[in-house]
Amino acid sequence: MKVLRWHPVDEIRGKLSKVLLGKSIALGVTSSVSLYRSVDLARELIRLGADVHVVMSPEAAKYVTPRLFEWATGNKVFVSFSGEVGHIALAEICDGFVIAPATANTIAKIALGISDTSVTVLAQSFLGMGKPLVVVPAAHYSLLTSPPISDATKKLEELGVTIVPPVVEERRAKYPPVEDIVSAVEASILRGRDLRGLKLLVTAGPTREYLDSVRFLTNSSSGKMGVAIAREAYFRGAEVALVHGPLTTAVPHYVRSVSVRTTEDMLEEVLSEVSTRKYDAVVLAAAPVDFKFSSEVVGKISSEIERIEVVMTPTPKISLGLRKVFSGLVVGFAAEFAGGSIDELTSKAREKLGKRGFNIVVANDISRADIGFSSEYNEVVILTDRGDSVVVSRARKVEVARVILDQLLRYLKLSEGPG
């Protein structure tokens, strides 16, 4: 009688998304005190559908028992390899390898080809097979910034390894947010470094238009869509800059970013960026406020006043201002009230495509409460001025960002022509 393989971990597999369903990922764990956070990383990858196989260095196994990772993944944990030649088998069956955390010692050994632990020998196997390798450094900051380790990190990047920059606090290079590592793994396995060499400017979030020094007009944009695009583009190899208004989501610490307040501020910063740097594309994912108060009061208007009459005037359209100085690819966004109708949403998006100087427009239906502003999910229609049309059904914003960047890359390649 055949015994069915089942483990409680299967109850959460694919619960968040099935984007990694059918993918096997090796997770390398080395001896940083932050290694306990890799349990959460493993579980998050499983929630996206992945099958996770953990490999621990002998020193890491002294910090946390391998049994914890066996519980977390439902798979045998390797601390050493022997007759089963696991370093070859895992490299064959797994689609990618993420080392989190990676000590300075581990980084140096991989760069030099030293294979004296299960983690470093598996890394060499992945490099030899040309498969994705993601490294998440975590150590005292002085170690990672020492010339030998800095050189080793640069060498790994030159070999195509994706480095997830640590969060630097208190002179320590700390384990980054799990969300960032997951994004790096997704991008590496599903797309690779296909945006390497491109420079992208992205806008995100709302703007604010002030009535007085404390009261302002804004909207419910969180900035999650623009941040997701910036993060995805970064891990696919692009050089990214982010101009954003007040966000309710964290800005990736490894992306160069500029914070602005008003719509005019955002326009000025965008124009400054494109005038001082050569960008291949600008992605206008922000939701700038369309109207402002005709005047702003310095100080605070008394709450004892029974009636206030205000005059609103339009704010500048960022895309139209951008088009006066930038002739490259512009991706715009359109938040439309379409009542759940894809046809109506497409029609309104096509109208925006022509009016706003976009090459690509991404439209979502704000009449739906389950997507869009402040949600982790979106559903969009993507149109191009070449007549292409793509519908992205409801998905996490990072997955929507992936498709948007796919269309951006395709547009740029077609613009280059044959060869």
Q: What is the DSSP string of 41-98?
A: HHHHHHHTT-EEEEEE-TTHHHHS-HHHHHHHHSSPPBSS--TT-HHHHHHHH-SEEE
209 and 181 inside one domain: no
Q: What's the DSSP call for residue 215?
A: -
pLDDT at 277: 96
Q: Answer yes or no: is pLDDT of 1 > 70.
A: no
Mean pLDDT along residues 259-287? 97
Give the domain-ending residue among 190, 215, 246. 190
245 and 185 inside one domain: no
The SS3 call for residue 375 is coil
Stretch among 80-84, 146-150, 383-387 having the lowest mean pLDDT: 80-84
278 and 347 inside one domain: yes
Is 2 a member of any domain?
A: no
Is 314 a member of any domain?
A: yes
Q: Answer yes or no: is pLDDT of 3 > 60.
A: no
61, HSE (Cβ side, Cα atoms, 13 Å): 15
- Rounded to 10 deg, the angle between the 86-93 and 118-129 helix axes is 50
Of all residues in the chain, the percent with pLDDT exceeding 90 is 85
175 and 258 inside one domain: no
156 and 292 inside one domain: no
Mean pLDDT along residues 267-294? 97
Give the domain-ending residue among 190, 214, 231. 190
166 and 56 inside one domain: yes
Task: Indicate the number of domains in the chain.
Answer: 2
109 and 76 inside one domain: yes
178 and 204 inside one domain: no
37 and 113 inside one domain: yes
Helix or strand (DSSP H, E) at 233: helix 224-235
Q: Is the pTM of this model over 0.85?
A: yes
Helix or strand (DSSP H, E) at 29: strand 24-29
- What is the average pLDDT value for the chain, to the nearest integer? 94
pLDDT at 2: 45
Is 184 a member of any domain?
A: yes
Q: Which two tokens stand for residue 15?
A: 């619960």
Q: Answer yes or no: is pLDDT of 317 > 60.
A: yes
Binned at pLDDT 50, 70 and 90, residue 388 comes out as: very high
Is 5 a member of any domain?
A: no
Give the domain-ending residue among 144, 168, 190. 190
37 and 98 inside one domain: yes
Q: If you average pLDDT over each of 166-170, 266-270, 332-336, which comes out highest?
A: 266-270
* Amino acid at the residue 137: P
Is 4 a member of any domain?
A: no
Q: Please write the tens of the pLDDT for every residue from 221-244.
A: 999 999 999 999 999 999 999 999
109 and 130 inside one domain: yes
Is 317 a member of any domain?
A: yes
Write the CATH number for 299: 3.40.50.10300
pLDDT at 370: 81
Q: Where are the beta strands (DSSP E) in 192-276?
A: 199-204, 209-210, 216-217, 239-244, 256-259
Mean pLDDT along residues 22-36? 96
What is the extent of the structural domain holding 62? 11-190
Is 277 a member of any domain?
A: yes
Yes or no: say if 268 and 207 are a contact pair by the CB < 8 Å rule.
no
Q: Answer yes or no: is pLDDT of 4 > 70.
A: no
153 and 116 inside one domain: yes
Ordered DSSP codes for 109-171: HHHHT---SHHHHHHHHHHHHT--EEEEE-EEHHHHTSHHHHHHHHHHHHTTPEE-PPEEETT
Report the number of secondary-structure helices (H) and strands (E) in the chain.
Answer: 14, 20
Antiparallel, parallel or unpaired: β 96-102 and 133-137: parallel
pLDDT at 416: 79
Write the CATH number for 138: 3.40.50.1950
